[in-house]
Amino acid sequence: MFWEQLDGSLLPLVRTPGATLQVTIYEFLIAFVVLGGLAIIPQSLFYLGFILRNLWRNKIRTALTGFATIVLVLVVTLVWTVLVFLANVTSEKANNLKAIVTERWQIPSQMPYSYAARLTEGAPREPGDVRIDPANDAMTWAFFGGTLDPQNRTRENSLFFFVMEPDRFLTMMDGIDEMSPTDVERIRAAIAVMEKDVTQVMVGHDKLVAMGKKVGESMKISGLNYQGIDMECTICCELPEGRYGQAAVMPRERLNRALDEYERKNRKAHPLAAKCLNLVWLRVPDTKAFQQVERQITTSAEFKSPAVKIETASSGVAGFLDAYKDMLWGLQWILVPFILATMSLIIAMAISISVRERRKEIAVLKVLGFRPGQILILVLGEALMVGGICGIIGSAGTIAYFNLYLGGFKFPIAFFPAFLIPNEALWWGPAIGLGTALIGSLTPSLSACNIRVSEVFSRIS
Amino acid sequence: MIPIVRVTNLTKSFSRGSEKIQVLDNLVLEVPKGQFLALMGPSGSGKTTLLNLIAGLDSPTSGSIVVGDQEIGAMSESQLARWRTRHVGFIFQFYHLLPVLTAYENVELPLLLLPLSASERKRQVLTALDLVGLSDRMSHRPGQLSGGQQQRVGIARAMVTDPDLIVADEPTGDLDSKSAEEILNLLVELKRSLEKTIIMVTHDPKAALYAERVLHLEKGRLVQEVFNPPSPRLAGSIA
Amino acid sequence: MHPTFIMLAFTALLLVVVAVVVPRLGWIGKLLARYNARNIMVRWPITLMLLAAFTLQVGIVVVMLSFVRGLQNLTAGSSVPGNVLVLSEGSTDELFSNLGYRDVSDVERHPLVMRDSDDPDGKPLASWEVYVVVNQPLPLPIIHGRRLGCRFGEESLKLTLVEAGGPLARAGVKPGDSLSSWAGIPLNSLEDIRLLMAGKQAGVIDIGYVRNGAQLSGSLNLDNLINLERSRRFLQVRGIDDPARSLKVHNLKLVTGELFCQAGVRAYGEGDQRRTAVEAVLGEGIARTLGSDINKTSLEPGDMFSLGDSAQPFIVAGVMGSSGSTFDSEIWSKHSLVGRKFGKDSYSTIVLRAAGPIEAEELAKDLTNNFKKAALKAQTETEYYSSLNQTNQQFLYAILFVAVVVGIGGVLGLMNTMFAAISQRIKDIGVLRILGYSGPQVMLAFLFEALLLAVLGGLLGCAAGAIGDGCTANSIISSGAGGGKSVVLRMTVDTPILLAGMATALTMGLLGGLLPAINATFIRPLEALR
């Protein structure tokens, strides 16, 4: 189950920057100013009414164009969610950054548990070295894959445990701030239980549903990567949907005891006994501290067999994502532009058709004294109105549907459990809608301005 | 003479909201085969409604319409469509040719619904176009033809299936007087040489002079019947 | 059911529908077809836009499918039908599998394993392998043990690559820029940087660089120039005992060079400088990738490269003709050397050749159930590689989702056009109906118009998508349950994909045309002419 998840599971734990909400507020301010500006244009209400009436007149066309915009905004929003998320997790942070210690050369990373004590301190040797607080700013991970039915293993009856110090779940894991306070309180209570009784485990909501288990029930897990190790566990807590929907957490102590017991029973150590530490997380205050810790760990004689490496979480993820580079490039530079172009074309068609149908009316407007610029506003306004409004509906709908109803966008790239659509996506929709509407309607609306009155009327008579 | 159209106690009413409008009121009419009949009357008198009913474009509220030997008042819409193809030719005020098709193709349109071979179709289309004097224009699109020429294509299209009955709704309404005269003479010629029954709605008294019999309608009733002397050219010159 | 099959079935269904409908239209069909085709040309600007939209949408679908087809070809091309792949029980992937020397040598003596006819002793056709993934830092210039996080191009100070988030990137430098000064001192060559860096090793300095002829400057924090391993790749290394037999088992051949020798090492250098390097046979894909690090199109026999933390360099002995298989991205070396270097002395895999697919299945079953010395998981290669297609399955779902959503956009655009076409030609429809054409006949005519547009758009889209044919891309394949191989795939557009593209277009045409066409049948002739 594991080498992907080994590195991959880091991803959901890296925090997206908290700046997103601010961006949204700025965008709304901009939107406000634009709307305010609209109010200053003379007779803007007249235009607004006129545009709305024209849109209302061909309800089917407006609805079809609008729906197309909404649907395409949905796809672009989802793709950008993935891209922005990946860009965020791979961009280097200056402060409060997380570092991962793994085995230097091999994948999967497998280190002896004896490394844990010194690594979680940051391996200080001399006075002046940076010392990390192992109880608060460090966590160890091992991965334990198991199944309820070793004879007939399926995706549904298999699960994947983070073997870790239970109390770090709330202090070191990411995505906790996305959980509701009640969930956090529930988990906090469960952690207290797990610290007393190591047979207790937490399992994600989706996984529980898939396995058909409930909180309070017990289950027998047969080890997959730890062959020959079976565990009786009691589910003490359900992790909410989203990042940890498919995951499970068991206390580190539990695995240690299971390995000891195996050795007693079989009179030899488990093959993975010396390889039961997969990675160590450290939190360091800034880049300087990181570099210092890096020096301490890489130069230490304690970690030579196997050798270890330390890297920032973001660079670890970036290295891993290298394999997906081409596909992500394709999403960003082929799929999204294609979709945006399609949107522009659909809007262009709708506006072209409207202009064609309304040649006579536009000619009449010109006879009445409307200037080309005013006609441009009318035609362009229609496109922008549809694009803007449906863009907002599209992105707001996407956020609401995916984040609230589906618990995130479940996209099968790598191993991500789910992507939460960021709040800033709220302005992507209108931006995409307005942008494509503008590009799409430019030519048809210019041709509307250039309609020659004499031609139109000669054709009618 | 055998009547080709026999209308008895024909009533047609529309309801507009709660109001009921009686367009045709217990009308009785017989049209003998080979007659050129003109229907006149002020607008709203029901003349076009009568024409549409006889042509099977609309169904009566009550009464019967027998065309040839068939009662068309009781036919379903699809039966009517099939019946129209074989028995009625239409001439419209605004010609209503399909703009993207050539004159030839426009005339061919109704023939496609009949079980004819390609060569038979071709012969009939060419005959019809020859009859209206447009053999040299058959590959032109409607946009490349004058109004009079377009109407002649319209007449050829109405003739091409060799229908028993030709109905024309204001066929000259959109034409200048010279073209109108040509079209009317063509209709008279068709009637005379091919013995077609023609029913024409018009509000133009001059056009009506070309018909042998003119019926005046008012408020859904026949109010006057006039038989013209059988010389349209003479009638034209008198006017 | 295989998605391609579904697409094919769908296309066939559409063809049947068309085949049934068009002859029924008969002569009417021909003239009405001309009528519709000409109308399409009359409103050509809108037609062009619609075609462009269809082209884009069908093109996306074709490109995405060709990516998946590339992956499928890769897994199909890697398996030999008579081969059985043996892992230790419970391992979902080669990476986690552990087989002892004794297990392997016992397993290969199974009677169903074929013998090597070319070998005098008639050795079994079996490949003993250890598979490890090595975490390889990308070779960016390291000057005085410090990495600038960039790569210089042929014009010595022009940067072809600037590591995102690296020290130079933080100073504002982008790929394509040329470095011009260092702490105020003008630069002439890379050697200048070397000298200047030896002087001042800490603190912040100003650097100058040229972008599009404009002189720009930024500040570079020398403290950041430590040996950060930010860029890396995962190299897949396979330790092999007997390369000749392994190649034979996998049906692979060398294209250049030779196999590695019994000792697995080769001497290089002269006199005191004489050292040994580990010999390796490379897949063509990885040879190209590693070649790009030293500005060559591909590594050739005799070229050296480094691998992991091995102090001993590696030397290319030969290159395998491996394109179209997962071995394309693999480095093969002597088992006893790489196993120890990368921490796995045992074997991960043994691949056995049976006489044919049926024997292979028998062999796999027998080994899994009856081999007592060690718990084994034996499966035919066909089975193993098709389990790696799990990734493709996921991609296909994603593609299906995108195709449907994007398709909805196209359908709506077409609907707009067709509704407008019908309302514009309402008089034409009225005339046709008065002349005796039935509602369904008119409907079919307009449906035909929509389908005609769809077919044209589909053809253009397939053509556009087919441009991607033959492009290479990196990806990962995995069985979903774990493991995974990074691969270089060749995007492939084949007939089923083109048919799928056409099916997409026709479906869009059908859905987008149907509603307006049905709507056309409700037009009342008399009202239409009024």
Domain range list for chain C: 3-77+388-529, 108-127+233-344, 142-224
Pairing of strands B197-201, B36-40: parallel
CB proximity list for A281: less than 8 A, separation 6 or greater:
A98, A99, A100, A101, A138, A139, A140, A141, A172, A313
Q: Which residues in chain B are closer than 8 Å to C436, comparing Cβ atoms?
A: 81-82, 84-85, 110, 113
Position B6 scores a pLDDT of 92
**Contact assessment for residue A343 and residue C409, using Cβ atoms and an 8 Å cutoff:** yes
Alpha helices in A400-451 (DSSP H): 425-449
> What would the pLDDT profile of A432-446 be if each residue is shown by its tens digit?
999 999 999 988 888
What is the rounded CA–CA span in Å between residue A311 and residue A287? 11
- Alpha-carbon Rg for chain A, nearest whole angstrom, is 29
Structure tokens at A89: 């997790």
Those chains having 3 or more beta-carbon pairs within 8 angstroms of chain B are C
Which CATH number is B138's domain given?
3.40.50.300
pLDDT-derived band at A163 (thresholds 50, 70, 90) equals: very high
- HSE, side-chain direction, 13 A CA sphere, residue B4: 19
CB proximity list for C300: less than 8 A, separation 6 or greater:
C256, C257, C287, C316, C319
Q: What burial class does residue C519 get, using C-beta atoms within 10 Å of its C-beta: 0-12 exposed, 13-18 middle, 19+ buried?
A: middle
Yes or no, beta carbons of B109 and C432 under 8 Å apart: yes
Position A206 scores a pLDDT of 86
| Residue C134 contacts A where some CB pair is shorter than 8 Å | yes
Position C18 scores a pLDDT of 65
Position A332 scores a pLDDT of 86
- With CA atoms as reference, report the closest residue to A109 among A3, A263, A214, A202: A3
Q: Which residues in chain B are closer than 8 Å to C433, comparing Cβ atoms?
A: 81
Q: Which residue of B has its CA nearest to C24?
A: B113
Q: Which residues in chain B are closer than 8 Å to C31, comparing Cβ atoms?
A: 101, 105, 108-109, 112
Residue C452 has pLDDT above 90, yes or no: no
Q: Which residues in chain C are closer than 8 Å to A67, comparing Cβ atoms?
A: 408, 412
Yes or no, beta carbons of B57 and C525 under 8 Å apart: yes
Q: Which residues in chain B are closer than 8 Å to C39, comparing Cβ atoms?
A: 100
Q: Does any domain span residue B148?
A: yes
Alpha helices in C92-219 (DSSP H): 101-107, 167-170, 190-199
Identify each DSSP E strand in B84-179 by its residue range: 88-91, 165-169
What is the rounded CA–CA span in Å between residue A57 and residue B32? 49
Position A417 scores a pLDDT of 66
Q: Which residue of C has its CA nearest to A160?
A: C481
Buried b or exposed e, range C402-435, using 16+ CB within 10 angstroms: bbeebbbbbbbbbbbbbbbbbbebebbbbbbbbb
Q: Which residue of B has its CA nearest to C525?
A: B57
> What would the pLDDT profile of C221-274 be if each residue is shown by its tens digit?
877 665 443 456 778 899 999 999 999 999 999 999 999 988 889 888 787 778
pLDDT-derived band at C28 (thresholds 50, 70, 90) equals: low
Give mean pLDDT, residues C397-410. Answer: 84
Q: State the first-to-last Cα distance of chain C, in angstroms, to the nearest integer.
A: 54
B126 or A91: which leads in pLDDT:
B126
Task: Kindly give the interhelix angle for A425-449 and A20-40, rounded to the nearest 10 degrees.
Answer: 30
| Chain C (299-318) residues lying within 8 Å, Cβ to Cβ, of chain A | 308-309
Is C142 strand, coil or helix? strand
Alpha helices in C425-494 (DSSP H): 426-434, 439-466
| Residue C428 contacts B where some CB pair is shorter than 8 Å | yes
What is the rounded CA–CA span in Å between residue A339 and residue A336? 5
> What would the pLDDT profile of A297-311 be if each residue is shown by its tens digit?
888 888 887 888 888
Position C31 scores a pLDDT of 76
C160 or C60: which leads in pLDDT:
C60
C33 or C87: which leads in pLDDT:
C87
Q: Angle C242-C247-C251 (CA atoms, 0-180°, nearest 5)?
A: 155
Yes or no, beta carbons of B105 and C38 under 8 Å apart: no
On whether the C142-224 domain is CATH 3.90.1150.10, my answer is: no
Ranges A73-87, A209-223, B70-84, C504-518: which has the least confidence: B70-84
CB proximity list for C133: less than 8 A, separation 6 or greater:
A3, A106, A107, C95, C234, C235, C236, C237
**Contact assessment for residue C521 and residue C440, using Cβ atoms and an 8 Å cutoff:** yes
Q: Which residue of A has its CA nearest to C486?
A: A323
CB proximity list for B18: less than 8 A, separation 6 or greater:
none
Is C253 strand, coil or helix? coil
| Chain A (389-428) residues lying within 8 Å, Cβ to Cβ, of chain C | 411-412, 414
What is the rounded CA–CA span in Å between residue A262 and residue A229? 7
Give mean pLDDT, residues A398-404. Answer: 87
A255 or C94: which leads in pLDDT:
A255
Residue A203 has pLDDT above 90, yes or no: yes
Residue C282 has pLDDT above 90, yes or no: yes
Give mean pLDDT, residues C327-343. Answer: 87
Pairing of strands C146-147, C142-143: antiparallel
**Contact assessment for residue A132 and residue A282, using Cβ atoms and an 8 Å cutoff:** yes
What is the rounded CA–CA span in Å between residue C376 and residue C86? 7
Position A92 scores a pLDDT of 65
Structure tokens at A368: 């009445």
Q: How many structural domains are present in chain B?
A: 1
Find tokens 């009566």 and name the residue. Answer: B60
What is the rounded CA–CA span in Å between residue A355 and residue A378? 11
Q: Does any domain span residue B85?
A: yes
Structure tokens at C528: 């239409």
Element (H, E) at C233: strand C232-240
Identify each DSSP E strand in A104-211 by its residue range: 106-107, 138-147, 158-164, 200-204
> What would the pLDDT profile of C340-367 be if each residue is shown by its tens digit?
888 778 898 999 999 989 999 999 999 8
Give mean pLDDT, residues C325-344. Answer: 87
Residues counted in chain C: 530
Q: In this structure, what are the phi and psi dihedrals at residue C176, rounded to the nearest 5 degrees?
A: 100, -20
SS (H, E, C) C3-59: HHHHHHHHHHHHHHHHHHHHHHHHHHHHHHHHHHHHHHHHCHHHHHHHHHHHHHHHH
Residue A371 has pLDDT above 60, yes or no: yes
Residue C505 has pLDDT above 60, yes or no: yes
- Work out the minimum CA distance from B211 to partner chain C, whole angstroms: 25
Say whether the peptide bond before residue C516 is cis (omega within 30 degrees of 0): no
Element (H, E) at A454: helix A453-460
Residue A407 has pLDDT above 80, yes or no: no
| Chain B (13-52) residues lying within 8 Å, Cβ to Cβ, of chain C | 52
Q: How many helices (H) and strands (E) does chain C have?
A: 15, 21
Q: In this structure, what are the phi and psi dihedrals at residue B41, rounded to the nearest 5 degrees?
A: 155, 160
Give mean pLDDT, residues A54-64. Answer: 88
Q: Does any domain span residue B20?
A: no
Element (H, E) at C278: strand C275-283
What is the rounded CA–CA span in Å between residue B53 and residue B47? 10
Q: Which residue of A has its CA nearest to C54?
A: A342
Give mean pLDDT, residues A279-289. Answer: 87
Element (H, E) at A97: strand A95-103
What is the rounded CA–CA span in Å between residue B4 and residue B163? 12
Q: Does any domain span residue B66?
A: no
Pairing of strands C275-283, C314-320: parallel
Yes or no, beta carbons of B112 and C31 under 8 Å apart: yes
Structure tokens at A23: 């961006």
Give residue B198's domain range.
27-57+75-238
Give mean pLDDT, residues A1-29. Answer: 43
Q: Which residues in chain C are closer than 8 Å to B58, comparing Cβ atoms?
A: 526
Position A15 scores a pLDDT of 34
Secondary structure letter of residue C99 according to DSSP: B
Yes or no, beta carbons of C416 and A61 under 8 Å apart: yes
Structure tokens at B115: 């079980």
Give mean pLDDT, residues B28-35. Answer: 91
Give mean pLDDT, residues B59-87. Answer: 86
Choose the mutation target among C230, C292, C368 for the interface with A, i.e. most A CBs under 10 Å: C230
